[in-house]
Homo-oligomer: A and B are copies of this chain.
């Protein structure tokens, strides 16, 4: 485990910035704030072996913490509803553009973590989430709402249609 120097944080932050933008997401434009969170992620990686959310208390058991490994399972619904994830590490395009302000994001995680969903065998009527289709490229994803931009072709959210 390497020491968490400013250089390591800067390197990791740049990698995260590139990867985030490539996937159609955005980091908080406040780079100093992001650096603090990146330090927290690296500390958690050293402590637990995985990058647990720096704003939540991890159990240290990867299986139980799966949903709060960053990016957490709650990021995308929170981006849709609040314009930021729980930590405000990730923000929506509207926040980056200055059209929306980040306010505190309420905790969406159920106390003690989520129950694992069981897949019903009763067919497609029983799918736990809707499937969205990008009308431009045909990309399919299962989420509460479509992503801000299509990760494949960059089409905007309103180019998605409900598919299943």
Contacts and interface: CB of A to CB of B under 8 A. Distances in A.
Given A133-B142, A139-B141, A159 B66 contact: yes
B135 A73 contact: yes
Interface stretch (A27-35, A39-47, A97-105, A148-156): A148-156
Given A137-B76, A140-B140, A164 B119 contact: yes
A154 B124 contact: no
A11 to B, nearest CB: 16
Contact of A124 (B23, B66, B151, B164): B164
Interface of A: 19, 23, 25, 62-63, 66-67, 69, 71-73, 75-76, 116-117, 119, 121, 123-125, 127-129, 131-133, 135-143, 147, 151-156, 158-159, 161-164
